[in-house]
Amino acid sequence: MRDATAFEEPDTFLPERWLAAEPTADMKTLFMPFSKGTRACLGKGLAMLELKLVLGALLSRYEVRLPQQTTEESMEMRDHFLVVPRSGKCELLFEPLTSCTTLQAR
């Protein structure tokens, strides 16, 4: 996903690039987190649902920040099978929100 021929500013975090009415054909071709076709991941639906639930629960209870020592250089990405920061770690600070209401499923 960091191909400059398909993605404008490939090293910049721009989630809004996917909000365009019609992403470019190259973008669609290069973005396959769960594969495609007959060999696609059977657990994709469950994985996406779980991600939404976990993120929703975390973000409704905590403010998430980067530590002060985090630099642009330490977060520069390198491509492997997975994309990881060059420093090898991505530290986050979770601070509880003071005005948090908890929703409970019944």
CA distance 63 to 82: 26
Q: Which residues are annotated as a binding site for heme?
A: 41
CA distance 51 to 66: 20
Q: Which residues are annotated as a binding site?
A: 41
